[in-house]
Amino acid sequence: MEFKEGLSEILLTEEQIQARVREMAAQISEEYRGKDPVFVGVLRGVVVFFSDFIRHFDDFCQIDFMCVSSYRGTQSTGECIITKDVSIELRNRHVIILEDILDTGKSLDFCYNYLLAKKPASLKICTLLDKPDRRKPWIDIKADYTGFVIPDKFVVGYGLDCNERYRNLPYVAVVKPEVYEK
């Protein structure tokens, strides 16, 4: 299969994404001016969004990452575990979680509560994509900052993957079902 053959449509162009990332970074820069926030990226899909966002954040800040998994091999265990923890002391700091996509909410809810237990001065969520139709009804998590609300379609690009492929696309595209149903 050719690289882009498995895609059915471009949902968000590179230009749309870049414009929205700049807007969100400008808004958060103003809201956190002088507060030296810590941006925590949830790996791995967030890497592209994180690096673009942080370059547009216009004040002092710190960055850190965490990685959470609910899989062993290709099977979901239904339980989130931290495979890489933050290394910065978060107590009394203003913390913003950067996430690529808020989907079912399970992993982000886990991360949020885990970081909340570290007693930050404030804790907010900034996600590039929000897919509310996929949210589990028993999970009450919402982003404080959202780039785009998208329909319930399997998307890739701009850091998002399908079996570790397509992360390097500069746009967000919909994957054809036959690609992910194999």
28 in Cβ contact with 96 (< 8 Å): yes
Look at residue 102 and give its three-state secondary structure.
strand
Structure tokens at 166: 């397509």
Proportion of the chain in helix, strand, coil states, percent, rounded to 5: 25, 35, 40
Active site residues: 103
Q: Using CB atoms within 10 Å of the CB of residue 123, give its burial: 0 to 12 exposed, 13 to 18 middle, 19+ buried.
A: buried
CA–CA distance, 136 with 152 (Å, rounded to integer): 13
Return the closest-CA partner of residue 131 out of 151, 145, 116, 111. 151
Amino acid occupying residue 13? T
